[in-house]
Each structure stands twice: as structure tokens, then as C-alpha cells.
Amino acid sequence: MRDRLIFTGQLLFTLTVAAFLVVPAILSISAGVTVNYFRGISSGVTLQWVFQVWDLYAGTILLSFVIAFATLAVTLLVGVPAAYALHTHGGRWSRIVEEVITLPIAIPGLAIALALILTYGGFGEFRRSWLFILTGHVIFTMPFMVRSVMAVFSTVDIKTLDEGAASLGASPVRRFLGVIVPNAVPGILAGALMVVTLSLGEFNLTWMLHTPSTKTLPIGLADSYASMRLEVASAYTLIFFVMIIPLLVAMQMFADREQGR
């Protein structure tokens, strides 16, 4: 009896918290398919706003995905070897380097963006291309990749595995690809999930770095909130959810399967 009460209490609490998080999202999404939000759902259900958003902002959605996966590629190619180097050869410097690459999380995105503009603003081509946003996203997401890979390294005693492979004659590159990376997969997947999610939703940095021709999904969202009917902006949110949720679920399932092996 007492256990049941406790269980019910816990369930209610969990549901309340979940509702607190989910209800605004549902309201926003439902607004996106309502003919007139101020008259309520009774005004009818429509997909016209969704189509309108798609016509206007399909480009921003595409660019967001391009940037997210490009960011992932860069953080993988740079972050994983960096984590390996820090772990095996870092010594007492590894702490300091780790702190430095973690700084972008603590520094406001606006400040980083400003620094980037001050530094690279003069390179017109670069400044105008989406690669400029990519740079910002890489700086911002890199610590998540490096840290989650390093966390795995410290649990599987990667240094001894590396020495074991070396004793069997493997060159540093073969060791890295054949032994280190396969054993860091859980960390790499966790890091990848973070990087893609953060990049897709990133607003602060991107807001400062974007140009009219390089808008990402969150920028388009802000744009539509500012300049369009509320229904359009809500339809945009709906599209965002439809895009990102299957992606997150797929990556999570992939990560679970890898870990369960």
C-alpha cells in the first residue's frame, strides 16, 4: 500500500514535469496548423502555413543540416585525434588545454561571434559564405566532442591498449584507426549526438555571423516570429520538430545498439 502511494506520487511528479516541458511545445505546434490562432482551433485546421514556411524557408532548413553535418565532420576529424593526443601525451598540459577548449561554452555566443567578425571580417568571401557560420559552430561544439571522447578514454585504459598495439608492431596511425577509435565508439556517438543537436539549434553565435544569404533554421524561425503571423512561426516550429525528432531518435537508437554490443 505504501509502495503504491510512493509509486503514484512519483508517477504524478514525473508526468507534471513532462507536461511542463511538453505542453508549450504542443501549443506552439497546434498553433501552426490552426487557421486563426486568436480565434482558436475552432477556426479550422490547415496546412497552409506549413507550406508557406516550406516555400519561404526550405533553404534555411537545408543549410542548417549542411552546417550541422559539416560541423560533425570537422569535430570528428579534429576532436577525436585531439582527445587521443591529449589523453596519451597531454601530461599536465592536458588539463589546461581542456579548460581552454571548454571556454566557448562559458563565453556568451555573442562575444565569440564578435571576436570572429573582428578577426575574419576582412576576408570578404569567407565572411559571406556559410563556412563562417561553420567556424563558429565548430568552436562552440568542439568541447562536447573532445570531452565525451576523453571520458571514454579514461574508462577503457586507452593508454595501455595503445601500448599493447604498439608492442605488436602497429604504427601510430594503425593503432588509432584499428584500436583506439573502435574502443571509443560510445564516446564518439555521444559526442556526435551533442554536436548535431547543438549545431541545429544554435542561435546566439549564428545570429551574429549570418548574412541574408546564409540563414539557418533558428535564424529563419526568429525571422518569421519577427515579421510574420504567429501561425507561420508556429508552423516553422512544427517543421523543426518533424525534422529533428526522428534524427535524434535514430541517433539515440544507434548509440544504444553500439553500447549494447
Partner 1 sequence: MNVIGDHGASVRVETCGKTFVDGTRALEPATLDIARGETLVLLGPSGCGKTTMLRIIAGLELPDVGGKVLFDGKDMTSVPIEKRNVGMVFQSYALFPNMTVADNIGYGLKIRGVGKHERASRVAELVALTNITGLENRRITQLSGGQRQRVALARAVAIRPGILLLDEPLTALDAALRDRLRGELNRLLRALGITTIYVTHDQAEAMELGDRVVVMQKGVIAQVGTPREIYFEPNSRFVAEFIGAANIIEAPVENGQLLLPGGRQPIGGDANLTTAVAMIRPETIGIVAAGSAPLSGTIDSVSFIGDRQRMIIGGASSKIIAVDAPNTITAKAGERVGLLIAPDAVRLLPPGN
Which residues of this chain interact with partner 1, rule CB under 8 A? 91, 156-157, 160-161, 163-171, 174, 178-179, 182-183, 185
C-beta closer to partner 1: residue 84 or 144: 84
- The least CB distance from residue 75 to partner 1, in Å, is 22
C-beta closer to partner 1: residue 157 or 256: 157
Cβ neighbourhood burial of 37 (10 Å; 0-12, 13-18, 19+): middle
The neighbour count for residue 252, using CB atoms within 10 Å, is 13
- The least CB distance from residue 3 to partner 1, in Å, is 36
C-beta closer to partner 1: residue 62 or 168: 168
Eight-class DSSP state of 199: H
The dihedrals phi and psi of 40, each to the nearest 5 degrees, come to 90, 180
C-beta closer to partner 1: residue 162 or 231: 162
- The least CB distance from residue 26 to partner 1, in Å, is 43
Q: Say how far apart CA 194 and CA 211 lie, in whole Å.
A: 25
C-beta closer to partner 1: residue 80 or 179: 179
- The least CB distance from residue 183 to partner 1, in Å, is 5
What are the Cα distances from residue 230, in Å, to 62, 160, 163, 191, 198? 23, 58, 60, 35, 25
Answer whether 181's CB lies under 8 Å from 246's CB: no
- The least CB distance from residue 184 to partner 1, in Å, is 10
- The least CB distance from residue 96 to partner 1, in Å, is 15
C-beta closer to partner 1: residue 151 or 166: 166
**Cβ partners under 8 Å of residue 215, min gap 6:** 57, 59, 60, 63, 223
Q: Say how far apart CA 247 and CA 236 lie, in whole Å.
A: 17
Answer whether 38's CB lies under 8 Å from 105's CB: no
